[in-house]
Structure 1
Amino acid sequence: MGDPREPGADPARLPGPGPQRGPTGYPVTVADCAGKETTIAKAPTRIVTSNAASLEMLLQLGAGDRVIGTGFPPGKGTLPSALAEQGAKAPRTDLAGIEDDIRRLGAVTGTAARAEELVTGMEKRIGEVRTALAGVPEDERPSYFAFDFDAGTKQPVAVCGRQVANAVITQAGARNVFADCDADFKPGSWEDVVAKNPDWIQLSVRNRGSEDATRKAYDDAEAFLRSFPATQGLKAVQEGRFVRLGSEVTTIAGVRNADAVRQIAATVHPDLVKNGQ
Structure 2
Amino acid sequence: MRPRVVCGIAAAVALFATACGSGGGGSASITAQPVPAAGYPVTVADCAGKETTIAKAPTRIVTSNAASLEMLLQLGAGDRVIGTGFPPGKGTLPSALAEQGAKVPVLGDKAVPKEKLLGSGADLYVDTFGAMPMMGGGATGPSEAEFAAAGIQHVYLLSTACAGTPKAAKAPRTDLAGIEDDIRRLGAVTGTAARAEELVTGMEKRIGEVRTALAGVPEDKRPSYFVFDFDAGTKQPVAVCGRQVANAVITQAGVRNVFADCDADFKPGSWEDVVAKNPDWIQLSVRNRGSEDATRKAYDDAEAFLRSFPATQGLKAVQEGRFVRLGSEVTTIAGVRNADAVRQIAATVHPDLVMNGQ
For the aligned pair, the TM-score class normalised by the smaller chain equals 0.7 to 0.9
- SS of the aligned residue for 1:182 comes to coil
How far 1:169 moved relative to its partner? 0.2
TM-score by length of 1: 0.86
Structure 1: distance between partners of 2:44 and 2:248: 24
Q: How does 1:182-261 map to 2 (within 5 A)?
A: 182-261=263-342
Cα distance 1:208–1:12, how it changes in 2: closer, same or farther (>3 A)? closer
Contact 2:73–2:101 (8 Å) recurs in 1: no
Are 1:50 and 2:64 an aligned pair?
yes
Distance 2:101 2:61 in 1: 23
Unaligned segments of structure 1, at least 5 residues: none
What's the % identity of the aligned pairs? 94
Instruction: State which of 31, 50, 57 in structure 2 corresponds to 1:14.
Output: 31
The number of aligned residues is 269
SS in 1 for 2:282: strand
C-alpha contact (below 8 Å) 2:210/2:346 kept by paired residues? yes
What is the Cα deviation at residue 75 of structure 1?
3.3
Cα deviation, residue 184, structure 1: 1.0
**What RMSD over aligned residues (CA atoms) do the two structures have, in Å?**
8.7
Whether the 8 Å CA contact 1:103–1:112 is kept in 2: the answer is: yes
Greater shift, 160-169 or 42-51, is seen at 42-51
Q: Distance in 2 between matches of 1:87 and 1:207?
A: 16
Give the TM-score taking structure 2 as reference length.
Answer: 0.67
Q: Give the deviation of 1:13 after TM superposition.
A: 29
CA drift at 1:81? 3.0
- Comparing 123-132 with 13-22, greater Cα deviation is found at 13-22
Q: Is the 8 A contact 1:202 1:243 kept in 2?
A: yes
Tell me the SS of whatever aligns to 1:69.
strand
- Determine whether 1:154 maps to 2:231: no
Q: Give the Cα separation in 2 of the matches to 1:203 and 1:10.
A: 25
Greater alpha carbon shift after TM alignment, 13-22 vs 32-41: 13-22
Alpha-carbon separation, structure 2, partners of 1:10 and 1:177: 32
Asked which structure has the greater RCO (Cα within 8 Å, sep 6+), the reply is 2
Distance 1:126 1:175 in 2: 16
Alpha-carbon spacing, 1:228–1:14, altered in 2? closer, same or farther (3 Å): closer
After superposition, the C-alpha distances for 1:155-179 in whole angstroms (9 at most, x for unaligned) are 1111111110000000000000011
8 Å CA contact 2:93–2:101 kept in 1: the answer is: no
Contact 2:282–2:317 (Cα < 8 Å) also in 1: yes
CA separation of 1:116/1:19 partners in 2, compared to 1, >3 Å: closer, same or farther? farther
1:205 is displaced (CA, Å) by: 0.6
CA offset at residue 80 of structure 1?
2.4
Quote how far apart the aligned CAs of 1:108 are.
Answer: 1.0
Distance 2:33 2:80 in 1: 29
1:161/1:183 contact within 8 Å kept = yes
Provide closer, same or farther for how the CA distance between residues 225 and 74 of structure 1 changes in structure 2, counting only shifts above 3 A. Answer: same
Where does structure 2 lack aligned partners over 5 or more consecutive residues? 5-24, 106-172
User: Per-residue deviation at 1:72?
Assistant: 3.1
CA separation of 1:18 and 1:180: change in aligned 2, threshold 3 A = farther
- State the distance in 1 between where 2:237 and 2:91 align: 23
Q: 1:156, 1:188 within 8 Å by CA — same for their partners in 2? A: yes
Write the distance in 1 (CA, Å) between the matches of 2:83 and 2:101. 24
Residues 202-248 of structure 1 deviation map (CA, whole Å, 9 limit, x = unaligned):
00111111111111111010001001111000000000000000111
Q: Is the 8 A contact 2:31 2:76 kept in 1?
A: no
